[in-house]
Amino acid sequence: MLGTTFYHGIIRNLIVAFGTLFNNIEITRRVSSGAAAQTIRVPLSYGPKQKYIARKEADPTLNVKVQATLPRMAFDITTFSYDATRKLGSTLQYTKVHPTEAGKVIPVFVPVPYDVAMSLHIMVRNMEDGLQIVEQILPHFTPEFTVTLNELSDLNIKRDIPIVLQGVNKEEEYEGEFSAKRVLTWSLDFMAKAYFYGAVNNDGSKVIKTAQTDEYVVEGIT
């Protein structure tokens, strides 16, 4: 089983698809009259929410204060769990006609379903910035949003993957003493209904064109 090397890039494609959903969010800061004073595109990166990582990315020498990096967003994968409710028959296969050898197909067994938990972290200095970002996200999840993932390019298999919003939490942290500047963190928890494929038999297998059935007559049974 483990002697065949393969890699379909499904996790990588899922990360890219998830990040694409949130990579174009902007917030507008206004003056007391209500006029727009500043528009900021919120940067997005892959990684955990700890603010020291955001600080290191913005200034590896740590010469710049961390507040210069906010607002910003980060996301990461947290857990994988098998989903038996979406399981298909283990012996079923997807096939594609072999491009060079007549009478052969390229098969792969049906994929294995997994729930991939992902978290999006929004880090801001003030409540208004956080509310603007969250309100641009929530209306699109009811509670799921579907993205199309190119799961298996060898067999041209694409699938609509639901990404389900499961919860929203807010935390408030302070740098140093309580009187120091605060960091508001919104954490949005998602679950992607993904599938993972095994190795593809690129050598191909012959197509079954005939089947033989033997019939027997058993005396005494009508």
Query: pLDDT of 150-198, one tens digit each?
Result: 998 878 899 999 999 999 999 887 655 555 567 889 999 999 999 999 8
**Residue at token pair 């209500």:** 34
Assigned domain for 219 exists: no
In a domain, 1, yes or no: no
What is the CATH classification number for the domain harbouring 167? 3.30.2000.40
pLDDT class of 208 with cuts at 50, 70, 90: low
Number of domains in the chain: 1
Does any domain span residue 51? yes
Token pair for residue 192? Answer: 């992607």
pLDDT recorded at residue 64: 55
Given a contact cutoff of 8 angstroms between Cβ atoms, the answer to whether 198 and 3 are in contact is no
Question: What are the start-end ranges of the E strands in 7-136?
Answer: 26-30, 36-41, 44-46, 72-82, 93-97, 104-109, 112-124
Percent of the chain with pLDDT over 90: 49
Tens of pLDDT, residue by residue over 78-111, are 999 999 999 988 888 888 777 667 777 888 889 9
Residue 23 bridge partners (DSSP)? none
pTM of the model: 0.78
Question: Domain for residue 75, yes or no?
Answer: yes
Q: Which residues of 169-197 are buried (b: 16+ CB within 10 A; e: fewer)?
A: eeeeeeeeeeeeeebbbbebebbbbbbeb
Strand partners, 175: none
Residue 60: inside a domain? yes
Least trusted range by pLDDT, from 76-80, 140-144, 200-204 = 200-204
- Can you tell me the distance from the alpha carbon of 72 to that of 186, in angstroms, rounded to the nearest whole number? 11
- Write down the pLDDT at residue 204: 64
Domain enclosing residue 32, as ranges: 10-202
